[in-house]
Structure 1
Amino acid sequence: MAASNVSSHFSSSLRMARAPRTAGSFAPSRVFPGLRRRPSCFPRIYALSSNDIKVGTSLVVDGAPWKVLEFLHVKPGKGAAFVRTKMRNYITGNTVEKTFRAGSSIDEANVSRETKQFTYKDGAQYVFMDLVTYEEVRLGEKEVRDKKKWLKEGMDCNLIFWNEKVIDFELPITVKLKVVDADPGLKGDTVQGGSKPATLDTGAVVNVPTFIDIGEEILVDTRTGQYSSRA
């Protein structure tokens, strides 16, 4: 290609790059720190068979989301087979037992989990932050319930969303907390012995071995609320 043609082609390309966009053109949307768009869509509902139920399955029953805690497939000598379940309501925390006919169709709850960090408590609200977008999610006492006794600033939790709303959150299975009040420990007793109540820095009270002293950090299982070990 001749030099004059190359120069002409480059100038034409430059003019095109600098040309203002018309009403029909598209430009990338700007992204602002701390702002995140959730996809706007209708709630998705998936049907599954009662035979597919297992621990952890999320179901929609009577218009509310439930989590299966226990299940048992029963095939009696007479009559139709069924599935006996124990479920917990994500929103209210209530636990019920419910039976489903074997092979019946059930709506699966489309829940999603997002990791957020508990950053601080603002009055009666608990503030969780997305460390990527800096978006804040606030939960009240009603949503947090008795899980607040294990919450500590800087702790990562899984917030559970259903229909674009937070319906529950999951704590880490094991948390490290400090003993702030307890009877004096028994020196030399590090294996055997009884237990004593200890108050932790979140306000929770747990039974710990008698050798645990004030100022020590311990690991607690949030599922049972019981002492696991020294940290």
Structure 2
Amino acid sequence: MKMRSAALSNAVAGSTGTSCSLSFFPPRMHQCNTISCRPRFLPKILALSTNDIKVGTNIEVDGAPWRVMEFLHVKPGKGAAFVRTKLRNYVFGNTVDKTFRAGASVDLANIVKETKQYTYKDGAQFVFMDMSTYDESRLSETEIGDKKKWLKEGMECNVLSWNGRIIDVEFPITVKYKVTEAEAGVKGDTVQGGSKLVTLETGAVVNVPLFVNLGDEILVDTRTGTYTSRA
């Protein structure tokens, strides 16, 4: 009986010491704060110096993910150097100007990018599918915003997630679209510099040269919404 009590005491002592034993307590009862016993699935937050910030860097500020759109390193004649940036919020889409002290540490946003195919619209939701696993991701009209006018069935997109939440969709830079509405061509359509508005199959309205007609297929830069050429 004494031997059993001693074994029990040793087990309890081990559970509160630095060499935590997981074999005594059931997983739900085990409460150990030692580093060796912390959950391994917690995300690791990486950081970088503000001196290393570049356009396209994803950072986390005030608990939200931001993308660096512009940056400028400034070294005034007097005072400390700093980095002036323009950031875009992935969640809300707004942009802000923010200044960081040069050399300060900033957290990198853990953003996961996955290639998925836009398959169809289900009511007010846009459905994207992983073509290898067939897992679906859905975005509402509010979440996708104005980008919906460039969505075309079968298009492969980059779906960006942060902390398990989809925050953005990146389209191919150049996409081919069919013109579904356009003014009829008139004499002088080949004159350089002339332009007109046409409607594409997705509902987007684009400014194109006068020679583009109904039924033509054109290439559009989805980043700017500008006409590139006829396909």
- Relative to the length of structure 2, the TM-score reads 0.80
Quote the Cα distance in structure 1 between the aligned partners of 2:185 and 2:75: 54
Quote the Cα distance in structure 2 between the aligned partners of 1:173 and 1:85: 24
Q: Which has the higher contact order (CA 8 A, sep 6+)?
A: 1
Gaps of 5+ in 2: 1-39
Structure 1 SS opposite 2:73? strand
Deviations 1:29-70 (A, max 9, x none): xxxxxxxxxxx9323211111001001101000000000011
Structure 1 SS opposite 2:138? strand
Quote the Cα distance in structure 2 between the aligned partners of 1:45 and 1:70: 23
Quote the Cα distance in structure 2 between the aligned partners of 1:116 and 1:41: 25
Q: Does 1:165 align with 2:165?
A: yes
Structure 1 range deviating more: 114-123 or 164-173: 164-173
Structure 2 SS opposite 1:202? coil
Partner of 2:67: 67
Give the letter aligned to residue 146 of structure 1.
Answer: D
Deviations 1:184-210 (A, max 9, x none): 124674461410000000000011100
Quote the Cα distance in structure 2 between the aligned partners of 1:161 and 1:107: 17
Contact conserved, 1:43 with 1:163, CA < 8 A, in 2? no
| Structural mapping, 1:10-89, within 5 Å | 41-89=41-89
Quote the Cα distance in structure 1 between the aligned partners of 2:43 and 2:97: 26
Deviations 1:50-109 (A, max 9, x none): 001001101000000000011000001111100000110011111111100000111110
Deviations 1:158-184 (A, max 9, x none): 001111221111011111111111111
Quote the Cα distance in structure 2 between the aligned partners of 1:230 and 1:162: 37
Quote the Cα distance in structure 2 between the aligned partners of 1:175 and 1:41: 39
Aligned length: 192
Structure 1 SS opposite 2:215? coil
Partner of 1:183: 183
Q: Does 1:228 align with 2:228?
A: yes
Contact conserved, 1:187 with 1:211, CA < 8 A, in 2? no
Quote the Cα distance in structure 2 between the aligned partners of 1:160 and 1:191: 43
Partner of 1:105: 105
Two-structure CA RMSD over aligned residues (Å) = 1.4
